[in-house]
Amino acid sequence: MNALLSRITAAWYDLSTREQILLGTAGGLTLFALLFLAIIQPIASYAGAVETRVETAEQNLVAMNRLRRQYDVVNASLSKVEERIRSSVEKRNLLTLLESLAASSSVKVDSMEERKAQDDAKYKETRVEVRLKSVTLKDTVSYLHAIESSNQLLTVKSLRIKNRSDSSDLLDVTFNVSTFDTI
């Protein structure tokens, strides 16, 4: 190793000042390029990647907080509905209840048919399709309001309203009403 270093030193001193400056500048630039490529550039790339990951994590955090707020709102609504289902002391037969609400709203029901409803692990749904023929809009709204404001939790699932061809003031109305019980 010393022999090699001696030969390099001797070759250096054999060069002219101009050659030494040129060779020193080229060597310095080469050393700087190697340091940049081996140390500075990987660190800068890693720092950029870290910044990108931090930004992505912050965006994910904002999205998670938004989803959490939405979950809390939905969960609070679900809790209210579940409490209403459990606290419903008067669990009347749905068909009987709908008939009595129709009578109190002065609506004549054409037909009521129990329909198959989807059950899940927690709740049993009872669904009835109600048909009204030749009713006024006022009577329909009165009946639907009575259903929605009933002591028992009732939900109108679908509603179809058609004008009658024989009279423009009267309607044919079909809707589904559901009630839920815990299993």
User: Three-state SS for 27?
Assistant: helix
The DSSP letter of residue 15 is S
DSSP string, 29-60: HHHHHHHIIIIIHHHHHHHHHHHHHHHHHHHH
pLDDT (0 to 100) of residue 18:
92
CA distance 35 to 115: 78
pLDDT (0 to 100) of residue 130:
93
User: What global pTM score does this model have?
Assistant: 0.56
pLDDT per residue of the chain (183 residues) written in tens, 0 to 9: 788 888 888 888 888 989 989 989 999 999 999 988 888 888 888 888 888 899 999 999 999 999 999 999 999 988 887 787 777 656 778 888 889 888 888 888 889 998 887 767 777 888 999 999 988 899 999 999 999 888 888 888 899 999 888 877 889 999 999 888 777
CA distance 91 to 85: 10
pLDDT (0 to 100) of residue 155:
86
Domain 94-182 belongs in CATH node 3.30.70.60: yes
Residue found under tokens 């209403």? 84
Q: Extract the tokens encoding 69.
A: 């707020």
CA distance 117 to 78: 19
pLDDT (0 to 100) of residue 71:
96
pLDDT (0 to 100) of residue 88:
65
Sequence-separated (6 or more) residues with CB below 8 Å from residue 85: 123, 153, 180, 181, 182
pLDDT (0 to 100) of residue 125:
83
Sequence-separated (6 or more) residues with CB below 8 Å from residue 95: 112, 114, 128
| Cα torsion angle, 61, 62, 68, 74, sign | negative
pLDDT (0 to 100) of residue 36:
87
